[in-house]
Amino acid sequence: MSQKHLGHTARKRFGQNFLHDQYVIDKIVSAINPRTGENLVEIGPGLGALTEPVAEYIDHLTVVELDRDLAKRLRHHPFLNSKLTVIEQDALKFDFASLLESDESKEKGKLRIFGNLPYNISTPLMFHLFSFADKVKDMHFMLQNEVVKRLCATHGDKLYGRLSVMAQYYCQAIPVVAVPPSAFKPAPKVDSAVVRLIPHKTPPAPVDNIDTLQRVVTTAFNQRRKTIRNSLKDLLSHDEIEALGIKPELRAEALSLQDFALLANKVNASI
C-alpha cells in the first residue's frame, strides 16, 4: 500500500521507506562523522532525512537517486541545492570510480559512501560496491537486519554465505545500531540495522583472481547441503582439495575465507 510522507507518495518498487526517527538519524550521522573536504556520497537520498543533517557538516555532497521526482526535489531544495551534486541514476549501474576523476576530487581522498538503501536491491548493490573497494575509505548503510548479519557472519554462523565470504574479502564489517520498523514511513515488514564497512588496505587472504574466488564461493554455496567434494567436483578433485589441507567432506558453511582463497587459487592455477 502506498503512503504519503512529506508530500511524496512512497514507491514500493524503489524500496522507499523514509527514515523519520531522530534518534536513529543522529546515530547514523555521528557514526559517519562527516567532515568538510571529504568525498561524501549518498545512495538513495530520498527526501533528505540523512542528506540534510550530513550536509550541515560539509560543503559538498554527491547523491545518487533513481527516482526522478525525488532527484528533482533535491535539485530545488531550498538550502541543500548549492551543496549537492545530484546524479539521477541507478546506483547498481553507476561507476563510483568516476567520482574520483577530477583533480579536485582526487585531493579529497577516497570515497565515503552512505545511505539508507533500497532493500530490494541491497545484495547486488553490495557486490557492485565491493568492486570499487579500493576507491572507498568507508561505507555506512542501513540494511535489512538479516543482510547486516550476513555481512558480519563468519564460518559456522547460521547466516554465513556468499555475501559473508566476499564481504570478508573486501572489508571489515561492524554492526552499528539495530533499527525497528517504526523508525520508517511506511514501516517495512522487517527489522533493520546499520553497518559500517571498512575496506581492507590489503586483503586478508591472497587471491590470484577475484572472478575465480567468486565462482568457487558461488558454486559451493549454490549447493550448500552438499560436501565441497561434491559441489566443487567439476572444479577440483577430492585429492586436490585434501592436498590443500581442507577436508573434502566439509560443507561450504564450514570453510573460512582463507580456505576459499586456497581453493580458488588452485582452480585458477589449473585453468
Q: What part of residues 104-163 is at the interface with ligand SAM (CB under 6 A)?
A: 116, 118, 121
- Give yes or no for residue 80 binding ligand SAM (CB under 6 A): no
For 170, the 3-state DSSP assignment is helix
User: Nearest approach, Cβ of 46 to ligand SAM (angstroms)?
Assistant: 3
- Parallel/antiparallel/unpaired status of strands 171-179 and 192-199: antiparallel
Please answer whether residues 40 and 31 qualify as being in contact, where contact means their C-beta atoms are separated by less than 8 angstroms: no
Q: What is the DSSP string of 107-134?
A: HH-SEEEEEE--GGGHHHHHHHHHTTGG
Placement of cell 580456505 in the chain = 259
Residue 38 or 65: which CB sits closer to ligand SAM? 65
For ligand SAM, give the closer residue by CB, 58 or 210.
Answer: 58
Does residue 26 belong to the site contacting ligand SAM (CB under 6 A)? no
C-alpha cell at 45: 537520498
Among residues 40, 54, 66, 217, which is the contact residue for ligand SAM, using CB under 6 A? 66
Is 268 annotated to bind a ligand? Reply is: no
In terms of CB distance, is 70 or 252 closer to ligand SAM? 70
Give yes or no for a contact between 168 and 154, defined as CB atoms under 8 angstroms apart.
yes
Q: Is 65 annotated as a binding-site member?
A: yes
Residues 6+ positions from 95 with CB-CB distance below 8 Å: none
Classify 251 in phi/psi space as left (phi over 0), alpha (psi -120 to 50) or beta.
beta
Measured from the CB of residue 270, what is the shortest distance to ligand SAM in angstroms?
A: 38
Q: Which residue is nearest to ligand SAM (CB)?
A: 44
- Pick the stretch among 44-52, 54-62, 105-113, 190-198 that binds ligand SAM (CB under 6 A): 44-52
The rounded radius of gyration (Å) of the Cα atoms in the chain is 20
Of 91 and 252, nearer to ligand SAM (C-beta) is 91
- The residue (of 66 and 139) whose beta carbon lies closer to ligand SAM is 66
Q: Out of 29, 41, 55, 70, which residue is the one contacting ligand SAM (CB under 6 A)?
A: 70
Q: 192: closest CA among 17, 32, 45, 9?
A: 17
- Give the pairing of strands 111-116 and 136-144: parallel
Which stretches of the chain bind ligand SAM, using CB under 6 A?
14-19, 43-47, 49-50, 64-67, 70, 90-92, 116, 118, 121
Residue positions forming the annotated binding site for S-adenosyl-L-methionine: 17, 19, 44, 65, 90, 116
Residue positions forming the annotated binding site: 17, 19, 44, 65, 90, 116
